[in-house]
Amino acid sequence: MSAPHSDKIHDALIVGGGLVGLATALSLDAAGLDVAVIDALPIEATLAEEFDGRASALAYASWRMFEALGVAGRLRQHAQPLTEILVSDGRAPDGLRPGGPGPFFLHFDSAELQTGLPLGMMAENRHTRLALIETLHDRGITAIAPAKAAGFDFSDPLAAVTLQDGRVIRAKLIVAADGRFSPARQAAGIRTTAWRYKQTAIVATAHHEQPHNGVAHEYFLPAGPFAILPLTGDRSSLVWTETPRAAQALMQLPDEDFAEELSRRFGDFMGAVRPGGPRWSYPLGLQIAEDYVRPRLVLVGDAAHAIHPIAGQGFNLGLRDAAALADVLSEGRAAGLDIGSEVALLPYETWRKADNVSLALGTDIFNRLFSNDDRLLRPVRGIGMALTGAVGPARRFFARHAGGATGTQPALLKGETP
């Protein structure tokens, strides 16, 4: 961690050193900008095992970006290649029928893409965070934490952020990577469209007797998806969606009872299963910022869009934001534009909003269609999934989308420098 030079003017100040903020710092540095990143929390706290129990499925395009940024080498030993995804209408563990996956409706196989690459890589967020921070230090990027932004000034020609301790940091551009409740977005008066789902995701790690062979399972129970995502070793990360009330009850269960509930939902197709480590819960909602840019301000990651985790795409979208912003700012600068001006930033908004909004709404529809036990909807979605699964081009399209290889690709996602 280095101290800020009060007289130093950065090209970009990134507010928020979460996964997206750190990746944005590296992306803009790769584009030749002078960047600094600040976070409200001490770095050690964000690296502690208890801080974030989630693991993220990194699309293979995101992994290529990590290779280009020099992050992949540090993360590889903790990353599990994702070779297949099996999606099914799960069978309700109601005591009469067992838990576990129902007949498969959709099967995505990396072999079908003929790229020789997996569909993606699964990595625990804490490992990804550490790999990003180490790379940031290697690159000599200014990272200040704990440093809570308390005041924002977006006026021309330079923006300024006042920290809680009174220090002031100046930059041509503020990048808001400060999460779903983004203080920077609020200070700029940017409104959001948002709704809550009556769902909470419980996240835990499961240890199982038999290997997962890189296969992810997602099955749909009436309250929402139950995802089993392969981690290194004979372990899987669980994203178990329930109603908020049921989730609260599950969170309060003693370990032994939780283990029993878990194995009922999970099923026995990987032998005996037991939870390992703590459990976390995340209330789920969708939120989209109405604008992504203002003079001297740009939004990335959850500050711009927070989506349902049903497709495991939130962080991937944030990485695409970071890569697209690097391209747009590098082109703007080459054209002689002031990188904090709205004219330089608007191409970013046009590019990213379309992708983010379509995925946010897609996940919303998917969740509404599948997270229920509606007698009329069940056969319709069964036919829809069976058709998609049976038709090769449709299946390959979805597999490519999961891999992040659709739409216009920024340089970093192609493994190139901006």
Min dist CB 105 to ligand FAD, Å, is 21
Q: Rounded to the nearest 5 degrees, what angle is found at the Cα of 33, between the Cα atoms of 406 and 170?
A: 120
Note whether 312 binds ligand FAD by CB under 6 A: yes
Min dist CB 31 to ligand FAD, Å, is 19
User: Which candidate, 41, 26, 265, places its Cα nearest to that of 144?
Assistant: 41
Note whether 381 binds ligand FAD by CB under 6 A: no
SS3 162: strand
User: Which candidate, 108, 76, 362, 69, places its Cα nearest to that of 216?
Assistant: 108
Per CB under 6 A, contacts with ligand FAD among 160-219 are 177-179, 183, 201, 203
Among 192, 313, 330, 356, binds ligand FAD (CB under 6 A): 313
Note whether 15 binds ligand FAD by CB under 6 A: yes
CA 263 to chain centre: 27
Min dist CB 250 to ligand FAD, Å, is 14
Note whether 26 binds ligand FAD by CB under 6 A: no
Note whether 53 binds ligand FAD by CB under 6 A: no
Note whether 20 binds ligand FAD by CB under 6 A: yes
Note whether 247 binds ligand FAD by CB under 6 A: no
Closer to ligand FAD by Cβ: residue 57 or 339: 57
User: Which candidate, 50, 49, 43, 35, places its Cα nearest to that of 18?
Assistant: 43
Among 51, 104, 269, 282, binds ligand FAD (CB under 6 A): 282
Q: Alpha-carbon torsion 42, 167, 184, 19, what sign?
A: negative
SS3 248: helix
Among 17, 100, 225, 404, binds ligand FAD (CB under 6 A): 17
Provide the phi-psi class of 180: left if phi over 0, else alpha when psi is between -120 and 50, else beta: alpha
- Residue 363 phi/psi, 5-degree rounding, is -70, -35
* Cα separation, 130 vs 48, whole angstroms: 10
Note whether 54 binds ligand FAD by CB under 6 A: yes
* Cα separation, 279 vs 293, whole angstroms: 37
Note whether 269 binds ligand FAD by CB under 6 A: no
Min dist CB 169 to ligand FAD, Å, is 11
Closer to ligand FAD by Cβ: residue 16 or 93: 16
Among 4, 11, 14, 18, binds ligand FAD (CB under 6 A): 18
Note whether 236 binds ligand FAD by CB under 6 A: no
Spatial neighbors of 407 by CB under 8 A, at least 6 apart, are: 355
CA 349 to chain centre: 19
Residues contacting ligand FAD: total by CB under 6 A: 33
**What is the number of helices (H) and of strands (E) in the chain?**
13, 19
Min dist CB 11 to ligand FAD, Å, is 19
Residues constituting the chain: 418
Contact 216, 229 (CB under 8 A): yes
Among 35, 36, 38, 87, binds ligand FAD (CB under 6 A): 38
Using CB under 6 A, list all residues that contact ligand FAD.
15-21, 38-41, 54, 56-57, 148-149, 177-179, 183, 201, 203, 239, 282, 301-302, 309, 312-316, 318
